[in-house]
Amino acid sequence: MFLLQANATSLINVADLRLIAPELILTVCACVALVMEVILPYRKSKLTAYFSLVGVALAFVSLYFQMGTIADGFYGMVRVDGFALLFKAIFLISAALAIGISTQIAQTSMTKGLQAEKTGRATMVGYVQIIFAGAWGAMLFGESITLWTVIGAAIVLMGMLSLVMVRREAVGIDE
């Protein structure tokens, strides 16, 4: 009978959410960045990187407001002190550097690839991302691979192989 009388608002203290504000900001920004990557056209994909950097900066601002406080939350499961803030700051700096470096490497690689190959053929390689996304989803997140996933991957691979074969015939490469 006691379980039926529990008040649902007493389970989570809203003031405890400020202790995990940097993590909440990063989570929300990461989810929005994932949606942006799908929705935005390829030419505007740099906006996703800039948005991610803004998310890291906002998390850093929330971390700044936590400096100098020692607090426990979520029934003693979360503790914010100087040591925790140091590791959060190291993580945020690492995330910002990773976003910046990977964006620069991707942009430079794409530019060099478009210079070396015809634009139509070079941009077709971007469709291989679908295969990698499916494989990583299966390996990292335990997603099931359906028949449609296999058919789609086969179509992409056949398209890529046909481009390679046409390229070899045009250049005259024999094996």
Confidence of residue 161 (pLDDT cuts 50, 70, 90): confident
Q: What's the domain range around 39? A: 1-115
Where a domain ends, among 115, 139, 155?
115
Per DSSP, what are the bridge partners of residue 79?
Answer: 72
Task: For residues 77-97, give the mean pLDDT.
Answer: 93
Query: pTM higher than 0.85, yes or no?
Result: no
Do residues 48 and 19 both lie within one domain?
A: yes
Do residues 140 and 87 both lie within one domain?
A: no
Do residues 29 and 72 both lie within one domain?
A: yes
Q: Is the pLDDT of residue 169 over 80?
A: no
Where a domain ends, among 91, 115, 139?
115
Where a domain ends, among 79, 100, 115?
115
Do residues 56 and 72 both lie within one domain?
A: yes
Do residues 101 and 132 both lie within one domain?
A: no
Q: How many domains in the chain?
A: 2
Task: For residues 151-167, give the mean pLDDT.
Answer: 81
Instruction: Tell me the three-class secondary structure of the chain, residue by residue.
Output: CCHHHCCHHHCCCHHHHHHHHHHHHHHHHHHHHHHHHHHCCHHHCHHHHHHHHHHHHHHHHHHHHHCCCCEEECCCCEEECHHHHHHHHHHHHHHHHHHHHHHHHHHHHHHHHHHHCCHHHHHHHHHHHHHHHHHHHHHHHCCCCCHHHHHHHHHHHHHHHHHHHHHHHHHCCCC
Do residues 105 and 173 both lie within one domain?
A: no
